[in-house]
Amino acid sequence: DVKVTQSSRYLVKRTGEKVFLECVQDMDHENMFWYRQDPGLGLRLIYFSYDVKMKEKGDIPEGYSVSREKKERFSLILESASTNQTSMYLCASSSVNPDTQYFGPGTRLTVL
């Protein structure tokens, strides 16, 4: 079974802090994705990566950056957290294009 893990299930940070969310997949997938999920808005794509060191902006990249130094790991970075970034963050991975995306359990981030 494909496994996608996220570094934290719950995270509480203060406004202005730098926040790192990490995602690791164990299936040698080329593609990795970061979404945020908010009630009534569904899933919105923040960034995705189709190869090591490659990244593409999604629909809502403002305020976020990403890093993919190794194939199995994809990090989402909030350079200076703000309260409007309080949300559920979901990581996913997939192999060929397009194909099933496999999701991690999510990180619920609260920014105070």
Binding of other proteins at residue 86 (CB under 8 A)? no
Specify the stretch interacting with other proteins by CB under 8 A; choose among 12-20, 68-76, 79-87, 104-112.
Answer: 104-112
Please check whether residue 105 is in contact with residue 81, taking contact to mean a CB–CB distance below 8 angstroms: no
Binding of other proteins at residue 1 (CB under 8 A)? no
Q: Tell how strand 42-49 and strand 19-25 pair up.
A: unpaired
Binding of other proteins at residue 77 (CB under 8 A)? no
Question: CA torsion 106→87→112→8, rounded to 10°?
Answer: 10
Binding residues (CB under 8 A) for other proteins: these are: 4, 30-31, 33, 40-43, 45, 48, 50, 56, 58, 90, 92, 94, 96-106, 108
